[in-house]
Amino acid sequence: MAELVNPYDTGRPVSEEKMFFGRDEVLAWVRENLIGGRRVFVVHGPQRIGKTSLLRHLIHHLPPGYVPIFLDLRSARQKDLPGLLWEIGVEVTLGLRTAHDLTLAEPLPDDLQKDPSYLADHFLPQVREALGDKQLVLMTDNLEALADTGGMELAHAFLSHLADVLKDEPWIRLILALRHPENFDKEHPRLFAAAAYRKLGSLASPEAARLIREPVRGMLDYDVGVTRRIIELTSNHPYFIQLLCYTIFNRCARSGRATLSDVEAAVDALLELGIPDFHELWEASSPQEKIILATLGALRGGHGIATRQDVSSALSRRGIRADPHEVAGALDSLAARGILERLGALSYRFNVDLLRIWLSRSKRPDEVYRAIRWPVQVKPSESQQPTAVQPSGVQPLPGAEAHPWWVRWIIVILALAAVLLGSLAVSTWLASRGLIGGVTTPTSPTATAISQRMRPTFTPTFAPTPTRPIVIVRTIPAIAYMCKEERTAPWQICVMDADGANITVLTDSEGDDTTPAWSPDGEHIVFVSTRDGNREIYVMDADGRNQVNLTNHPADDWMPAWSPDGERIAFVSYRDGNWEIYVMGIDGSDVTRLTENEADDWTPSWSPDAAEIAFCSTRDGNWEIYVMDSSGSLPLRLTEHPENDIAPAWSPDGQWIAFESTRDGSSEIYVMDRNGEQLRNLSNDPMADDHGPSWSPDGSRIVFYSIRDGDWDIYAMNDAGGEVVNLTDNETNDQTPVWRP
């Protein structure tokens, strides 16, 4: 077998055209501004966001008449301005000779040491003559690296020199790539005031999806949901997409397919090995920032979004009294460093969700709080006037501040005793007059008789409440789904009541048991298991007994769906070289292929009358929803959108089809009529991903799974998208729910 070469490269910037995705709008912005006469450009963004890759790619996309020279200041070795200018002169000479076949004499180190203006006065005129009427574009990367080489003084001296050069040489354009322009722009207004600024952020979702899929096309297939999960974990950050995909490819290249379980295993492997970028940002953080990062990593819910109040409350619950202004300052500092993204005035979230997961696993709040103390700001008056520590919950009485603490305790006890005695006296007086019930004390028989004569006697007129018989009710599970308690544990099939109660685990397999589906009578569950080494379709009783392999085929079989008449099971199989839809009898016999297309066909769903099957397919370029006769004939496309539409589910009356779509940027639960019209977004939560809809038997509710509260849980909502309830609000991973018919 030929060796498979991992196409993802996390060790260097992207220089190959085939591995550069997105940034089209930035390339267009540079070209338009160059043609419009702009001379200085500032491209900025956090570390690893792709600034260097953009500059290297931009070399091939400048308008005609512009000659680019790439200068990486990270490779500079000289620690003074003359030495740095000499290195730049050499790089310009080599660049013009290699890429443009222009020969110039290199400047000598002594030329610059004797006269720092040599580059501008003698070398650049030679460059101007060699270029003719063309423009020189200096693409300068890693400006901050100069501070590591020669200090901020060298960086500022270099920028001042560039400002002088640009003033005298109008044929030179400058593109600066750096992380924090605010560290330089105020000191150099001549250079930055007229500059065009562009901040690089994460990729758009379609661009991120292309970066995930296209480099491995023909080598590795991704199961449904894998691309979306990678995007969720990496938050569309190009470097972390490559890092995670590199790990997934190494794990799955031999099998040729990556599953959601493979993604989670790759995350575990990455975090176990350690991600140097995360360790570096942690070590570079202040004590307050470390405490807040650990706190944010432990917060659940809120779609990964937290407010300042959320952080302050979490700190307070753990005994840390942090000034709200200090909390806000630390959060804003983390946002300025590109670790957090500020949403509105008071909310924040991680720029890369993988960092949140790393923090939740490796930086436990209690351990961080023990190792790091929140710095307390002590007011001068407090430090000058030490006071005795009061016992918890005790406040000094007025005028008692001058007494020793034991005297104050005696005063407090005597005051409390006086209050109790006074209260008892008042209660006794009121009771003696029949105004309230008296204090129960031992009484003589005479006193008891007097008391009985004074009080009226009431006789109950109602019948005593009969003792209710004990009734043992056997609940019937309503929802089947797949679950696992630990990240590394295999998936198992679970059932629960419609309100999320009485969760029961039905399978106990060493392989993954996934994607359950009910029989029409609710007595059996068909599901997928890898216990035999590959995916096979199994069936079992509703209580988990009598588990039987129906397919017994060396190829993978997946996504079963039981027909409403109870006679057939549709499923997806790779047995003919790609994913196609098949049907078989309920005992695994009479296997028939329904679809025959070079594209993949997935997620079959029977109409209530068993006459049609809805499914999704890539036959028209991306995932769309189709419907066909139950015999496989007359396929008809119902959706048409550049984003993906998958996982159709018929309503019980056959009039509606629920499905999941990424057309709004995140995965949402949609509904449409059986003709593909009247589309509505039901889940409508842009900060989460919602998957796998399934209707209740009466059609009034839809169950689905979502990560909106921090981990995968099962939710239910009404058929209009309201009354959303988390049914499995626990620490387990819960997915693919199906409602019992």
- What is the chain's percent helix, strand, coil content, to nearest 5? 35, 20, 45
Instruction: Please give the average per-residue pLDDT across 402-413, as a whole number.
Output: 52
Name the band, by pLDDT with cuts 50, 70 and 90, for residue 397: very low
Residues 654-672 have pLDDT tens digits of 999 999 998 887 789 999 9
Query: Which tops the pLDDT comparison, 677 or 710?
Result: 677
* Nearest-angstrom CA–CA distance, 176 and 13: 16
Q: Would you state the pLDDT for residue 75?
A: 85
DSSP secondary structure string for all residues of 336-374 = HTTSEEEETTTEEEESSHHHHHHHHHH--HHHHHHH-PP
Contact status, residue 191 vs residue 166, Cβ threshold 8 Å: yes
Per-domain boundaries in the chain? 23-199, 205-273, 277-371, 479-739
**What's the pLDDT score for residue 703?**
97
pLDDT at 205 over 50: yes
Per-residue pLDDT tens digits for 588-632? 999 999 999 889 999 999 999 999 999 999 998 889 999 999 999
Distance CA 101, CA 122 (A): 21
Q: Report pTM.
A: 0.69
**Cβ neighbours around 631 below 10 Å, total:** 12
Q: Are 599 and 221 in contact (CB under 8 A)?
A: no
Looking at residues 421-425, what average pLDDT do you find?
Answer: 55
pLDDT, tens digit, for every residue of 323-339?
Answer: 889 999 999 999 988 89
Confidence of residue 88 (pLDDT cuts 50, 70, 90): very high
Q: What is the mean pLDDT of residues 38-59?
A: 92
What average pLDDT score do residues 3-14 get?
84
Q: Which residue has the higher pLDDT, 561 or 477?
A: 561
Q: What is the pLDDT of residue 430?
A: 45
**In this predicted structure, which of 59-73, 187-201, 370-384 has the lowest mean pLDDT?**
370-384
Q: Is the pLDDT of residue 301 over 70?
A: no
440: phi then psi, degrees, rounded to nearest 5: -70, 115
391 pLDDT above the threshold of 60: no
- More confident of the two residues 79 and 425: 79
C-alpha–C-alpha distance, residues 199 and 197, integer Å: 7
- pLDDT of 568 strictly over 80: yes
Q: Which residues contact 79 (CB under 8 A, 6 or more apart)?
A: 149, 150, 154
Rounded mean pLDDT of 688-710?
91
Length of the chain: 741
Residues 39-62 have a mean pLDDT of 92
Q: Please state, in angstroms and as integers, the Cα–Cα distance from residue 181 to each residue in 81, 159, 166, 233, 238, following that order.
A: 20, 12, 19, 28, 22
Instruction: For residue 269, give the nearest of 291, 256, 241, 250 by alpha carbon.
Output: 250
Identify the bridge partners of residue 253 per DSSP, sorted by sequence position.
none
322 or 446, which is more confident: 322
Closest to 249 in 3D by CA, of 483, 45, 33, 10:
10
Per mean pLDDT, which range of 5-14, 225-234, 408-417, 536-545 is the poorest?
408-417
Give the CATH superfamily of 479-739.
TolB, C-terminal domain (2.120.10.30)
Strand partners, 636: 627
pLDDT at 272 over 70: yes
pLDDT at 475 over 70: no
Q: Is the pLDDT of residue 12 over 50?
A: yes
**Which whole-number Å values give the CA distances from 434 to 440, 442, 451, in the listed order?**
14, 18, 11
Closest CA to 137 of 47, 209, 65: 65
Q: Which of 462-466, 614-618, 701-705 has the lowest mean pLDDT?
A: 462-466
CATH 3.30.70.260 matches 277-371: no
pLDDT computed for residue 374 by the predictor: 81
Q: Is residue 692 within 8 Å of residue 670, measured between CB atoms?
A: no
Average pLDDT over residues 72-82: 87
Strand order in 701-706's β-sheet?
A: 690-695, 701-706, 713-718, 725-726
Specify the range with the lowest mean pLDDT, choosing from 85-89, 374-378, 531-535, 589-593.
374-378
DSSP string for 109-162? HHHHHH-TTHIIIIIHHHHHHHHTT-EEEEEEE-TTHHHHHHHHHHHHHHHHHH
pLDDT for 418 equals 58
- The pLDDT of residue 471 is 37
Quick one: CATH architecture of 205-273? Answer: Orthogonal Bundle (1.10)
Per-residue pLDDT at 538: 97
CATH class belonging to 23-199? alpha beta
User: What mean pLDDT comes out for the span 450-457?
Assistant: 35
**Lookup result for tokens 């008891």:** 448
